[in-house]
Chain A
Amino acid sequence: MDGEELTEQETALYDRQIRVWGADAQRRLSKSHILVCGMKGTVAEFCKNIVLAGVGSVTLVDDRIVTDESLSANFLILPHENHYNGKTLAEVCCDSLKEFNHMVHVAVETGDISTFGVEFFEKFDAVIISCCSLGKKKLINQKCRKLSKRVAFYTVECRGSCGEMFVDLLDYKYSKKKLEETIECQIEYPSFEEAISVPWRALPRRVSKLYFAMRVIEQFEDVEGRNPGETTIADLPGVLKLRKELCETNSLDESQIPDALLERLLTDTREFPPVCAIIGGILGQEVIKAISGKGDPLKNFFFFDAMDGKGLIEDISGPSTRS
């Protein structure tokens, strides 16, 4: 992808999407580098989307060995044992992704990236984290924020028929056309830590219950030292107890985090493929927007629940960054 112009090949291949976001945006995409950590179903969908969109490179991180369970919602892993025997999730997904678009460079990075230095993250334009503990999420987010260049930061988690996505674009400036004029926009984003630290009673009244439910489970895993996604229905009593404590501390009525919702989230621990497609799609769009500088990025949480079918945006930020 040398030179300033899109190649003839690129123009032909990306014709339909160039008609959506323009050649300029396509050029920026082709120069971008994305880091992705945690190769589950939703992230697989996301990777497919950005590879098809024609980003410059995608670097995958996930040292877990592929098991039968990994197959359940991840279409990048084919059900032939030979295909995945002994390999890591990142390796298998890398092989599959390469086939989607030869113009995108797909690679694997090994190790615990939360221990890597800040310079490592400087190579990237966007970092997407999934299946990560609370501590690691915060750490990686901080490292990205320390850089002088903007590195967009996203987290994504799907549990059963629900999904949550978080966006941090730091201090984001972009322009857009309204009627005949070009107007300059600016959005300030809180870090993940800042966002989840906003006292619950300070939040607008009708904030999605899913937000709170996910925080409870997240806290539970943090306190109990569980790996993300390992909390199950058997832990329900402990989770309910934690909910009670958190609600008391935050002066929030417990009914704001219904039993039934928590039960659902703890029962359906595996991902549900249609939800992966939906969240992976939304995430893909957001990353494309941030990199191309086109379109209003969402701020700062997105939730989907297949049960009511709503996909909604919540602005969880303190008074200084509240839009």
Chain B
Amino acid sequence: MASQEQLSAIKRAKVLMVGAGGIGCELLKTLALSGFQDIHIVARDAVLRFRPNISITPYHANVKESRFNVDFFKEFDVVLNGLDNLDARRHVNRLCLAADIPLVESGTTGFLGQVTVHLKGKTECYECQPKPAPKTYPVCTITSTPSKFVHCIVWAKDLLFAKLFGDKNQENDLNVRSSDTANSSEHSEDVFECRKDEDIERYGRRIYDHVFGHNIEVALSNEETWKNRNKPRPIYSKDVLPEEQTKENGNEEKGCAADDVSAMVSLSLKNPQDIWSLVENSRVFLEALRLFFLKREKDIGNLTFDKDDQLAVEFVTAAANIRASSFGIPLHSLFEAKGIAGNIVHAVATTNAIIAGLIVIEAIKVLQKDNNNYRMTYCLEHPSRKLLLMPVEPYEPNRSCYVCSETPLSLEVNTQRCKLRDFVEKIIKAKLGMNFPLIMQGASILYEVGEDLEEDMVVIYAANLEKALSELPSPVASGSVLTVEDLQQEFSCSINIKHREEFDEEKEPDGMLLSGWVEAPVDKDNNKPIGNDESTSNALPSMETLEGEKDDEIQETSEVVEAFSGKKRKLSEVSEVTAPDPSGPSSINQNKPEKLDIDDEDDELIISDDWESFTKKKKL
């Protein structure tokens, strides 16, 4: 049990939890048991029936809402994150810095987990270390030259599904081909629209033939692409499913509600773990399409892919598999496809429970201002030097962190071509994680977002967005310094602009290069735009890759403990634990300091934050 002194610190504490998912639930339980009395929770999802003698104040809302401002955060003694996305984590990080409140961060994926402590000025902030962005793939790989199943999934989900069932006004790369000029975009539009009086069966087959047959033939006509690659084969519905067969498809419409509609049920395909044949996939493709139009017509035009939408998952699985078949890529089961398409992060209760326990231990240290004993703790799947739970001392703040150390950033951009809108979307929001930015050059405001802006200002800002940087009322040129702020996060940084004429389309498709911003290590596959979902996972901050290659078996992972060169460590007091407040005999920190059994070797034990190296199969 905790010492008297700990107990009183615990009883007095006002704690904020953000997130009530896998970690959050375990955390709440452990906090309550440990004697915390005043717990506040901000969570999008509802939760919460618990022991009545504790005060639990829920805020059923998104933590990015404006009411959760710096003053709100200042009320708490410590903030405990149990979030599942990078964006919210960065947001909370900035608010804790602004409010100068300690933050305990955490994440889990399968058997891996970590807990980190962040104190302004004393340790790294959450953003001091690079967090890899969600994996993206080059456009041409998705539209023309897929080589992995995940490419087919992205095609099926973000192109085909979006084209057929999503917002018609959205730009869609589906018909982007290397050198085809024969089809005007007008003509292509027609292809995907269902014609008046067209039989749904006919329509389905027509779409099928267009994307799996026609489009492939067109791609094949460009010899250059296939010089060093295996050629895909076009697939036509009449060859896979002769006309009569589809007529026998499907059981009679059972009286099912629109929500329960399922092609699998209709076709009596029971097991989501089965890998369907090309024929079965084709049946599912046509049947799912048919069911969408028959039973969910009102949804068409508004849909975005949702992993919990059974019919959508079925359609995407089938489409991806047919494409995979065409390109000689191994097919996958619905279960697997769903995981990939939905960015599902595997999770187990035990890891969450362990991490929750570790969070509470750090929280108590924070409350006692036990500065020398804060630890980052890593929960490993395979022991490293006998350790399954590995504590590491926190690092000093990163002096080039643009978030906590106010280092200016640099941006190379073509100021004459790049519009303000692109700058805002791709840099300010996507890379810098600001949700409500204010952009200034000197005293001149170029752009801002807010509720009480004057009408004429709103008009001006809207106009500014469409202008090239050099054409703004206060022109931006090489040498300009822009100040960007997010008032809610109370976070500001400055960006030095440098004009550059040309950008590599493959490597820098955004046409901009931001530096000084600590970029995560990049996979050779990781290039640009397509397929970029916000990964909503309860993952470690850096674990947002699509699990494209994962087999059903648990993969052996190598124990990687890499020396991380050039990192400054916190000054460690290795041999002695100094009691912060020697109290009675019941204190955990005895008057006689107990030697921490830290081997000399420990100083070399620095975990790489590249979690990908922990989980990806190591190929020799």
Q: Say yes or no: is A109 at the interface (Cβ < 8 Å to chain B).
A: no
Q: Which of A258, A271, A281 contacts B351 (CB 8 A)?
A: A281
**How many angstroms from the CA of A233 to the CA of B586 in the assembled complex?**
10
Quick one: closest A residue to B592, CB to CB?
A: A260
User: Which of B111, B272, B364 lies in contact with A20, CB distance below 8 A?
Assistant: B111
For B349, what are the chain A residues with a Cβ–Cβ distance below 8 Å?
Answer: 17, 48-49, 52-53, 284
Which one of B70-78, B231-239, B463-471, B553-561 contacts A? B553-561
Determine if A172 is an interface residue (Cβ-Cβ < 8 Å): no
Q: Give the A-B contact count at a CB cut-off of 8 A.
A: 188
List, in ascending order, chain B residues with CB within 8 A of A308's CB.
Answer: 391, 596-598
Q: Is residue B2 within 8 Å, beta carbon to beta carbon, of the partner chain?
A: yes
Known contacts A22-B553, A267-B585; A311 and B387 CB within 8 A of each other: yes
The stretch among B286-294, B352-360, B501-509 that forms the contact with chain A is B352-360
Residue A136 lies at the interface, judged by CB distance under 8 Å to chain B: no
Among B358, B379, B595, the residue within 8 A (CB) of A258 is B595
Is residue B388 within 8 Å, beta carbon to beta carbon, of the partner chain? yes
Complex formed: what's the CA distance from A24 to B554 in Å?
11
Q: Closest CB-CB distance, A75 to chain B, in whole Å?
A: 5
Asked whether A79 lies within 8 Å of B51 as measured between CB atoms, the reply is yes
User: What is the 8 Å Cβ interface bit string for chain A, positions 238-274, against chain B (1 contact, 0 not)?
Assistant: 0000000000000000000011110110011111111
CA distance A24 to B273 in the complex (A): 11
CB of B110 closer than 8 Å to a CB of A:
yes
| Listed residue (A75, A272, A274) with the most chain B CB atoms within 10 angstroms of its CB | A274
Interface readout for B548-588 with A: 1 if CB under 8 Å, 0 if not? 00011111100000000000000000000100000001101
**Smallest CB–CB gap between B589 and chain A, Å?**
8
Q: Are B344 and A19 in contact (CB under 8 A)?
A: yes
Instruction: Check if A179 sits within 8 Å of B111, measured CB to CB.
Output: no
Given contacts A281-B357, A309-B389, whether A272 and B2 have CB atoms under 8 Å apart is: yes
Given A20-B111, A295-B554, check contact A264 B588 (CB 8 Å): yes
CB-CB under 8 A for A309 and B592, given A75-B29, A272-B34, A273-B30? no
Query: Which of B347, B390, B555 lies in contact with A310, CB distance below 8 A?
Result: B390
Taken residue by residue from 11 to 47, chain B's Cβ proximity to chain A (1 for < 8 Å, 0 otherwise) reads as 0000000000000001001101110000000000000
Contact in complex: B598, A274 (CB < 8 Å): no
Interface string of A1-22 (1 = CB under 8 A from B): 0000100000100011111111
Interface residue? A160 (CB, 8 A): yes
Q: Does B228 contact A (CB under 8 A)?
A: no
Chain B residues with CB under 8 Å of A258's CB are 594-595
Q: Which of A75, A233, A268, A313 contacts B386 (CB 8 A)?
A: A313
**In this complex, what residue of B is CB-closest to A183?**
B556
For residue A233, which residues in chain B have a CB less than 8 angstroms away from its CB? 585
**Binary CB contact string for chain A from 155 to 194 against chain B (1 if under 8 A, 0 otherwise):** 0000011000000000000001111000000000000000
- The CA-CA distance from A258 to B389 in the complex, in Å, is 23
CB <8 Å contact, B358 and A274? yes
Interface string of B360-397 (1 = CB under 8 A from A): 11001000000000010101011100111111000000
State in angstroms the CA–CA spacing of A282 and B387 once bound together.
Answer: 12
Asked if residues B354 and A298 are in contact (CB atoms below 8 Å), the reply is no
Is B188 located at the chain interface by the 8 A CB criterion?
no
Known pairs A22-B552, A179-B556, A273-B30; A49 contacts B597 (CB<8 A): no
* Distance, CA A72 to CA B33, complexed state (A): 7
Near A by CB (< 8 A), chain B positions 305-350 give 335, 339, 344-350
Question: Nearest-CB distance from A122 to chain B (Å)?
Answer: 27
Q: Contact between B389 and A311 (Cβ–Cβ < 8 Å)?
A: yes
Most buried by A among B30, B348, B555, B617: B348
* Beta-carbon contact of B554 and A176 below 8 Å: yes
Residue A28, interface by CB 8 Å: no
Alpha-carbon distance A169/B589, docked complex (angstroms): 37
Using Cβ atoms and an 8 Å threshold, which residues of chain A touch B556?
Answer: 176-179
Q: Are B590 and A177 in contact (CB under 8 A)?
A: no
Counting chain A residues whose Cβ lies within 8 A of the other chain, the interface size class is 35 or more
**Residues from 268 to 323 in A contacting B, C-beta threshold 8 Å:** 268-278, 280-282, 284-285, 288, 294-296, 298, 302, 304, 306-314
Whether A19 pairs with B353 at a CB distance below 8 angstroms is no
CA–CA, A209 and B271, complex, Å? 51
Nearest CB in chain A: distance from B393 CB, A = 10
Residues 429-444 of chain B, each 1 if its beta carbon lies under 8 Å from chain A, else 0: 0000000000000000
Known A258-B594, A260-B590: A79·B375 in contact at CB below 8 Å: no
Known A274-B357, A295-B554; contact A16-B389, beta-carbon cutoff 8 A: no
Q: Which residue of A lies closest to B596 (CB)?
A: A308
A193 to B45, CA, bound (A): 49
B356 x A16 contact (CB < 8 A): no
Instruction: Kindly provide the distance from the CB of B15 to the nearest chain A CB, expressed in whole angstroms.
Output: 14
- In the assembled complex, the Cα of A11 lies from the Cα of B329 at a distance in Å of 26
Q: Could you tell me if B391 and A302 are in contact, using CB atoms closer than 8 angstroms?
A: no
Complex Cα gap A9–B32 (Å): 32
B388 near A311: Cβ-Cβ < 8 Å: yes
Nearest B residue to A292 via CB reads B554
The answer to whether B554 and A260 have CB atoms under 8 Å apart is no
Residues of A contacting B179 with CB < 8 Å? none
Q: Which residues of B contact A282 (CB under 8 A)?
A: 350, 354, 388
A73 close to B (CB within 8 Å): yes
Give the residue among A176, A233, A273, A302 with the most B Cβ atoms within 10 A. A273
Bound Cα distance A170, B195 (Å):
69
B453 contacts chain A at the CB level, 8 A cutoff: no
On chain B, the residues within 8 Å of A294 by CB distance are 553-554
Question: Which B-chain residue is minimally distant from A80 (CB atoms)?
Answer: B52
Q: Is A118 an interface residue (CB 8 A)?
A: no
Residue B1, interface by CB 8 Å: yes
Chain B residues in the interface with A (C-beta under 8 A): 1-3, 26, 29-30, 32-34, 51, 53, 110-111, 271-273, 335, 339, 344-351, 353-354, 356-358, 360-361, 364, 375, 377, 379, 381-383, 386-391, 551-556, 577, 585-586, 588, 590, 592-599, 617-620
8 more A-B residue pairs beyond the given contacts A20-B347, A268-B588, with a C-beta to C-beta distance below 8 A: A18-B335, A21-B348, A161-B588, A176-B556, A179-B620, A278-B354, A309-B375, A310-B390
16 A-B contacts (beta carbon < 8 Å): A16-B345, A19-B344, A20-B346, A22-B554, A72-B1, A177-B556, A261-B594, A272-B2, A274-B30, A274-B361, A278-B353, A282-B388, A294-B553, A298-B383, A309-B389, A312-B388
Residues of A within 8 A of B (CB): 5, 11, 15-24, 41, 45, 48-49, 52-53, 72-73, 75, 78-79, 160-161, 176-179, 206, 208-209, 233, 258-261, 263-264, 267-278, 280-282, 284-285, 288, 294-296, 298, 302, 304, 306-314
* Top 4 A-B pairs, shortest CB-CB distance: A311-B389, A277-B357, A309-B391, A19-B346
